[in-house]
């Protein structure tokens, strides 16, 4: 059997940073220097090719246009490779992984995001292990010689996560990511173990790559004392089509003051309001308490256990997919890529 072929897509990020001697700040450098820093890559038994974005960026500068560019690269090279590894800064990695999961419909091959907390040239860097293992996982094939991880994933510090279930929780430690509401897909120790029963079902349909996102999305995070009264008119005049409401606990909000009238006004204006919890673990259960029951009666959409990153990118994806309000509402409550538990 021939070696599996994996394409590295380099966007930038800490993994490929070098220190600017004059300023003392970190800046990205070219992909070939990243790969040359790890000679053992050549011993993986994987045929590796690479491509990089025209503009190498810090992940803080990632935009939806970058997500679309990544989707287009995977579309163009999809039939030539068994898997893909995207080198990306960790700060917005969960947003990018979530976005790619929606843009790549019927994905049948692994798309693994990875990066590092320390640049690859430093002695204690986590970059080498993250990259080597991500490449290994991306090249894994079943006994029939086929790729068997049909998902957009994040690999970081010995753990393989579903991309749209993951968020960055730590800027200091190497274990920067967690997935509180869905178990890990794999773990790397002496051996790499993939929990196949947790993977998405392999699709027998052809890959469909979506190349449009609609960013008319706003976020309102509740806090005691929030004055929401002016928001509906502001959102209406600015063209906002989805408001993500970060509520307390299992989906609760205040019943006094201007909150409920403001939510009602937004919905009356044709704006979809999606309710997700501020808690990083757990889910929205609208109707469990009186405070969320009132939101439910107004027509607020239950976001279940969506992460913030997934809610944002899913809303952008759905807004670009259809203009029909009823269809948008339906899709927001539908598990499209394993991003929510119904």
Neighbours of 185 (CB within 10 A): 27
Residues in the chain: 342
Token couple for 294: 């009132």
Task: Read off φ and ψ for residue 131, nearest 5 degrees.
Answer: -70, -45
The Cα-based distances of 189 to 115, 123, 131, 317 in angstroms read: 18, 21, 15, 36
Instruction: With beta carbons less than 8 A apart as the criterion, state whether 127 and 10 touch.
Output: no
Residue 284 DSSP code: -
Which residues lie closer than 8 Å to 11 by C-beta, 6 or more apart?
52, 53, 56, 57, 59, 62, 66, 70, 86, 87, 88, 89
Instruction: With beta carbons less than 8 A apart as the criterion, state whether 177 and 168 touch.
Output: yes
Q: How far apart are CA 325 and CA 320, in angstroms?
A: 12
Q: How big is the CA angle at 321 (ends 316 and 326), to the nearest 5 degrees?
A: 95
Token couple for 4: 């599996």
Q: How far apart are CA 11 and CA 34, in angstroms?
A: 12
Please name which of 62, 71, 5 lies closest in space to residue 28, comparing C-alpha atoms.
62
Q: How far apart are CA 85 and CA 10, in angstroms?
A: 8
Q: Report the first-to-last Cα separation within the chain, whole angstroms.
A: 41
- Catalytic residue check, 14: yes
Instruction: With beta carbons less than 8 A apart as the criterion, state whether 331 and 319 touch.
Output: no
C-alpha radius of gyration, the chain, whole number = 21
Sheet holding 242-247, edge to edge: 217-221, 242-247, 272-277, 301-302
Of residues 14, 92, 133, 307, which has the active-site annotation? 14
Catalytic residues, by residue number, are 14
């Amino acid at each position: 059997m021939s070696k599996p072929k994996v394409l590295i897509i380099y966007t930038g990020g800490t993994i490929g940073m070098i220190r600017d001697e004059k300023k003392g700040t970190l800046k990205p450098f070219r992909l070939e220097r990243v790969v040359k820093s790890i000679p053992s890559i050549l011993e993986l038994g994987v045929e590796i090719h690479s491509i990089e974005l025209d503009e190498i960026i810090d992940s803080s500068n990632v935009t939806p246009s970058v997500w679309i560019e990544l989707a287009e690269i995977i579309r163009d090279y999809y039939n030539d490779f068994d898997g893909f590894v995207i080198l990306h800064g960790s700060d917005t990695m969960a947003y990018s992984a979530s976005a790619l999961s929606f843009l790549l419909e019927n994905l049948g091959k692994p798309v693994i995001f990875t990066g590092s907390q320390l640049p690859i040239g430093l002695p204690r860097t986590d970059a080498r292990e993250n990259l080597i293992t991500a490449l290994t996982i991306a090249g894994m094939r079943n006994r029939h010689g086929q790729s068997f991880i049909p998902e957009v994933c994040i690999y970081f510090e010995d753990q393989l996560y579903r991309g749209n279930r993951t968020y960055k929780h730590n800027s200091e430690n190497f274990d920067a990511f967690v997935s509180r509401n869905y178990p890990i897909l794999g773990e790397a120790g002496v051996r790499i173990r993939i929990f196949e029963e947790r993977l998405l079902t392999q699709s027998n349909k052809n890959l469909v790559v979506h190349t449009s996102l609609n960013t008319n999305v706003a976020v309102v995070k509740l806090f005691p004392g929030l004055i929401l009264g002016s928001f509906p008119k502001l959102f209406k005049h600015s063209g906002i089509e989805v408001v993500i409401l970060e509520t307390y606990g299992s989906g609760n909000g205040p019943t006094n003051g201007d909150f409920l009238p403001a939510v009602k006004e937004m919905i009356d204006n044709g704006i979809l309001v999606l309710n997700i919890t501020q808690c990083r673990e757990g889910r929205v259960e609208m109707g469990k308490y009186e405070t969320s029951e009132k939101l439910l009666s107004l027509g607020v959409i239950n976001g279940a256990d969506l992460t913030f990153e997934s809610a944002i990118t899913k809303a952008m994806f759905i807004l670009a997919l259809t203009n029909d309000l009823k269809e948008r509402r339906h899709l927001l409550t539908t598990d499209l890529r394993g991003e929510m538990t119904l």
